């Protein structure tokens, strides 16, 4: 009765209708998700529509995530700060001159304004650390001072550990650094000096990190770990720690993953103090040292940072978190500052000649003292300039705007908005550092310009570079120790060695994951044969 084609059409229609009925709940769910997403994106856009920024980034987090998957996100944010920092059509109607603030994702602002950075970090500020900081927990269940989000808890922890970081409570601190500088010089001279007819290339980036890791171990635990002594990456620690930072960056984009990592079924796959290699092994060494020192034994005194922490009431669990932070973050960041200072000095013969002349004229002790190094103006200008052109930490340091919001430079920042820093934008600001802000030129900190810089300009430059270490309540506690290491190791290497880049077209590798990770800085080293520097 039914033709075959007609019957087949009827069957197909029935199947289509049945499929539509089956898929209807799913299609409705997808439709609801799309509507919610678009509504959320619109309101996020509308709340910050009075700020400029890349068009797509104002509606979607996709550009923000993609920028972080590369290795140059700090340069992208520098460019955004420069491009969108002052846009007259956004500022004139608000009665202000504008300031470097831009939208980089829905509900997320980025600034390179030093004054706003200081305002956010001031002691009485109501700004708080964003969940972004949770990504930098080394133990998913425990905070350290660099990721604690509660302002009061952070302040209390900082009071306990700050005296140790200041160095005043570590007996023989300067001598400890001297000993590790001597070990570095001995390693270079005994194993890596090149003869006139041969090149014995060595990775300066690696040896500098051996130095900073051993120095941190000596300061924190009372003895070096042994990187310089063995000339090896002990326990593959440096290799695995470098691999960890990109992972932390991804966690910072999706902080809710920290709750997943805290699950017992997942936690067993994370680095553990029971591991024989990598971060886990260093965690084990730190834990073992802390275990031996708690509870404190009467009459037993040590001359390290851990002793200071115990004296100021740090608990055993807190001490374990802080020691791992020291090793992981302290060694890498200080190493970057030292590497970049040496690289730029030896890449600029004029700077090298001028610096050697200053050291020669000062006739410092051997080894140089911290006070002597601090009194050398050109050395200090060189160090500042190296930190300026390549700050060791470039992460956005996202903060939550207080619920009542904030008004800055005539523009209202709604409560609940997230705002972060562009350190590279701040440190390459042409209005502060001049039109050659991308050039390595230490003289800018001494006022030696085509037209002499004013005292106000010099103060602004010094204050801006100081912001590379944070400010106020969130200022880097390790700054004084990092400065001590820089003051010691830079002059001693310059006094003793000539360095030249082995591969000029590819001088070193670098990956930025909120912290600069550098490797393969291959150098040729010979003993300095110039005029004796006593």
pLDDT for res 359: 96
Query: Considering the domain boundaries, does residue 510 fall inside one?
Result: yes
Q: Does 499 reside within a domain?
A: yes
* pLDDT score, position 135: 87
The pLDDT confidence band at residue 280, using thresholds 50, 70 and 90, is: confident
Range(s) of the domain holding residue 223: 142-397+470-527
Mean per-residue pLDDT for 282-304? 81
Instruction: Tell me what pLDDT residue 91 has.
Output: 41
**Residue 91 annotated as lining a ligand binding site:** no
Question: How many whole angstroms separate alpha carbon 517 and alpha carbon 332?
Answer: 7
Residue 519 covered by a domain: yes
Local confidence band at 364 (pLDDT 50, 70, 90 cut-offs): very high
CA dist., res. 192 & res. 110, Å (int): 45
The answer to whether residue 129 is domain-embedded is no
* Average pLDDT estimate for 200-215: 95
DSSP 139: B
d(CA 230, CA 430): 45
Per-residue model confidence as pLDDT tens digits over 46-60: 899 989 999 999 999
Mean pLDDT, residues 94-101 taken together: 55
Q: Which two tokens stand for residue 406?
A: 């904030």
Q: For 313-332, what is the mean pLDDT?
A: 85
Residue 258 has which token pair? 């920290």
The residue with greater pLDDT, 521 or 237, is 521
Inter-helix orientation angle 479-496/349-362, to 10°: 90
Spatial distance between the Cα atoms of 18 and 12, rounded to a whole number of angstroms: 10
- Which is more confidently placed, 124 or 40? 124
pLDDT of 70 over the 70 cut: yes
pLDDT higher than 80, residue 457: yes
* 390 part of a folded domain: yes
Residue 3 has pLDDT above 70, yes or no: no
- Asked if the model's pLDDT at residue 22 lies above 80, the reply is no
- 451 confidence band (pLDDT: 50, 70, 90): low
| CATH code assigned at 319 | 1.10.630.10
Query: What's the rounded Cα separation, in Å, for the pair 105 and 126?
Result: 22
Using the predicted structure, report yes or no on whether residue 392 has a pLDDT greater than 90.
yes
pLDDT tens per residue, range 126-173 = 999 999 998 888 777 788 999 999 999 999 999 999 998 888 878 788
Number of domains into which the chain is organized? 1
Residue 229: C-alpha distances to residues 144, 222, 281 (Å): 30, 16, 18
Least confident interval from 17-21, 80-84, 337-341, 458-462 = 17-21
Band of the pLDDT at 426, cuts 50, 70, 90? Answer: very high
Q: How far apart are CA 446 and CA 458, in angstroms?
A: 7
Given 3-state DSSP classes, what are the helix, strand and coil percentages for the chain, each rounded to the nearest 5?
A: 60, 10, 35
Model confidence at 97: pLDDT above 60: no
How confident is the prediction for the chain on average, in pLDDT?
87
Which strand ranges, in their side-by-side order, compose the sheet holding 101-105? Answer: 101-105, 108-111, 418-421, 399-400, 128-129
In a domain, 257, yes or no: yes
The answer, yes or no, to whether residue 39 has pLDDT greater than 90, is: no
What percent of the chain shows pLDDT beyond 90? 56
| In a domain? residue 130 | no
Please answer whether residues 45 and 61 qualify as being in contact, where contact means their C-beta atoms are separated by less than 8 angstroms.
Answer: no
**Cβ pair 225, 285 in contact under 8 A:** yes
Sole residue written with tokens 């300095």: 528
**Torsional sign, CA 243, 487, 485, 397:** negative
Kindly report which listed range (48-57, 234-243, 344-353, 435-444) carries the lowest average pLDDT score: 234-243
Kindly tell me if the per-residue pLDDT of 94 is higher than 50: no
Contact (Cβ atoms closer than 8 angstroms) between residue 250 and residue 261: no
When pLDDT is averaged across residues 295-307 and rounded to a whole number, the result is 80
- Confidence band for 265, pLDDT divided at 50, 70 and 90: confident
């Amino acid at each position: 009765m039914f033709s075959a084609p007609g019957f087949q059409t009827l069957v197909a229609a029935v199947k289509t209708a049945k499929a539509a009925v089956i898929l209807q709940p799913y299609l409705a769910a997808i439709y609801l998700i799309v509507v919610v997403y678009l509504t959320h994106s619109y309101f996020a856009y509308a709340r910050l529509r009075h700020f400029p920024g890349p068009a797509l980034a104002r509606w979607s987090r996709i550009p923000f995530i993609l920028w972080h998957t590369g290795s140059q996100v700090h340069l992208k944010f520098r460019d955004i700060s420069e491009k969108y920092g002052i846009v007259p059509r956004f500022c004139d109607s608000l009665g202000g001159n504008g300031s470097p603030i831009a939208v980089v994702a829905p509900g997320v602002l980025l600034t390179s304004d030093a004054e706003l950075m200081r305002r956010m970090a001031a002691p009485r500020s109501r700004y708080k650390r964003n969940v972004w900081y949770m990504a930098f927990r080394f133990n998913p269940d425990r905070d350290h001072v660099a990721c604690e989000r509660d302002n009061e808890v952070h302040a209390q922890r900082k009071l306990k550990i700050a005296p140790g970081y200041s160095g005043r409570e570590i007996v023989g601190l300067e001598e400890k650094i001297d000993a590790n500088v001597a070990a570095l010089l001995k390693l270079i001279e005994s194993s890596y000096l090149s003869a006139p007819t041969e090149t014995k290339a060595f990775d300066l980036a690696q040896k500098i990190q051996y130095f900073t890791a051993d120095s941190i171990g000596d300061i924190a635990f009372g003895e070096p770990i042994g990187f310089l002594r063995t000339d090896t990456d002990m326990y593959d620690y440096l290799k695995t720690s470098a691999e960890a930072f990109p992972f932390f960056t991804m966690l910072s984009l999706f902080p809710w993953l920290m709750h997943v990592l805290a699950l017992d079924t997942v936690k067993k796959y994370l680095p553990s103090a029971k591991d024989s290699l990598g971060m886990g092994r260093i965690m084990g060494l730190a834990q073992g040292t802390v275990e031996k020192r708690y509870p404190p034994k009467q009459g037993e005194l040590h001359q390290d940072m851990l002793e200071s922490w115990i004296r100021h009431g740090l608990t055993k669990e807190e001490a374990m978190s802080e020691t791992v932070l020291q090793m992981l973050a302290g060694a890498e960041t200080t190493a970057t500052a030292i590497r970049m200072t040496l690289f730029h000095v030896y890449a600029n013969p004029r700077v090298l000649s001028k610096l050697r002349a200053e050291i020669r004229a000062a006739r410092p002790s051997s080894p140089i003292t911290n006070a002597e190094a601090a009194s050398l103006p050109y050395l200090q200008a060189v160090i500042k300039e190296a930190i300026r052109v390549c700050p060791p930490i470039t992460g956005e340091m996202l903060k939550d705007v207080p619920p009542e919001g904030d008004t800055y430079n005539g523009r209202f920042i709604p409560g609940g908005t997230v705002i972060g820093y562009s350190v590279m934008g701040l440190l390459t600001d042409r209005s502060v550092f001049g039109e050659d802000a991308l050039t390595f030129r230490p003289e800018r900190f001494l006022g030696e310009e085509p037209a002499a810089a004013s005292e106000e300009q010099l103060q602004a430059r010094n204050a801006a570079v100081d912001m590379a270490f944070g400010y106020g309540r969130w200022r880097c506690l390790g700054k004084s120790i990092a400065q001590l290491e820089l003051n010691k190791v830079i002059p001693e290497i310059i006094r003793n060695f000539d360095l030249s880049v082995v591969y000029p077209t590819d001088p070193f590798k670098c990956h930025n994951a909120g912290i600069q990770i550098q490797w393969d800085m291959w150098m040729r080293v010979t003993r300095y044969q110039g005029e004796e520097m006593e």
